[in-house]
Structure 1
Amino acid sequence: MIFLSSVLLGFVIASSGSIVPSFLNLTVVKFSLKSGRKSALYLIGGFATVLFFQANIGAYLSSILMKNSEYITSIQKVGTGILLLLSLNFFRLHFTTKKLKKKKEIDKSKAYLHGVGMSLLNTFAIPFYFTSISFLIGLEYFEYSFLNSLYFSIGSTAGSFSLYALYAKLAPKIEEKLTFIATKMDLILGCLTGVVGIGNLLYLL
Structure 2
Amino acid sequence: MSVFTCILLGFAVAFLGSITPSFLNLTVVKFSLKSGRKSALYLIGGFATVLFFHANIGAYLSSVLMKNSEYITLIQKVGTGILILLAIHFFRLHFTLKIQKKKAKIDKSKAYLHGVGMALLNTFAIPFYFTSISFLIGLDYFEYSFLNSFYFSMGSTMGSFSLYALYAIGASKIEHKLTFIATKMNFILGCLTGVVGLGNLIYLL
Q: Deviations over 1:67-113 (max 9, x none)?
A: 00000000000000000000000000000111331110000000000
1:42 equivalenced with 2:42 (yes/no): yes
Partner of 2:98: 98
- Cα distance in 2 for partners of 1:2, 1:120 equals 30
- Cα distance in 2 for partners of 1:86, 1:135 equals 29
Greater Cα shift, 67-76 or 93-102: 93-102
Per the TM alignment, residue 184 of structure 1 is displaced from its structure 2 partner at its CA by: 0.2
- Cα distance in 1 for partners of 2:149, 2:164 equals 22
Matched ranges for 1:43-122 at <5 A = 43-122=43-122
Report runs of 4+ in structure 1 exceeding 6 Å deviation. none
Partner of 1:23: 23
AA aligned opposite 1:79 = G
- Cα distance in 2 for partners of 1:151, 1:5 equals 9
Per the TM alignment, residue 25 of structure 1 is displaced from its structure 2 partner at its CA by: 0.1
Per the TM alignment, residue 48 of structure 1 is displaced from its structure 2 partner at its CA by: 0.2
Per the TM alignment, residue 137 of structure 1 is displaced from its structure 2 partner at its CA by: 0.3
AA aligned opposite 1:131 = T
RMSD (Å), alpha carbons: 0.6
Q: Deviations over 1:133-152 (max 9, x none)?
A: 00000000000000000000
Per the TM alignment, residue 34 of structure 1 is displaced from its structure 2 partner at its CA by: 0.1
Per the TM alignment, residue 120 of structure 1 is displaced from its structure 2 partner at its CA by: 0.1
Could you tell me which runs of 5 or more consecutive residues in structure 2 were left unpaired when the two chains were aligned: none
- Cα distance in 1 for partners of 2:99, 2:181 equals 12
- Cα distance in 1 for partners of 2:191, 2:103 equals 25
Per the TM alignment, residue 4 of structure 1 is displaced from its structure 2 partner at its CA by: 0.4
Partner of 1:158: 158
Q: Deviations over 1:33-62 (max 9, x none)?
A: 000000000000000000000000000000
Per the TM alignment, residue 173 of structure 1 is displaced from its structure 2 partner at its CA by: 1.1
Partner of 1:193: 193
Give the match's secondary structure for 1:64. Answer: helix
Give the conservation status (yes or no) of the 8 Å contact 1:86–1:193. Answer: yes
Partner of 1:175: 175
AA aligned opposite 1:68 = N
AA aligned opposite 1:69 = S
Could you tell me which runs of 5 or more consecutive residues in structure 1 were left unpaired when the two chains were aligned: none
AA aligned opposite 2:199 = G
- Cα distance in 1 for partners of 2:100, 2:19 equals 25
Give the conservation status (yes or no) of the 8 Å contact 1:46–1:112. Answer: yes
Per the TM alignment, residue 172 of structure 1 is displaced from its structure 2 partner at its CA by: 1.2
TM-score (norm 1): 0.99
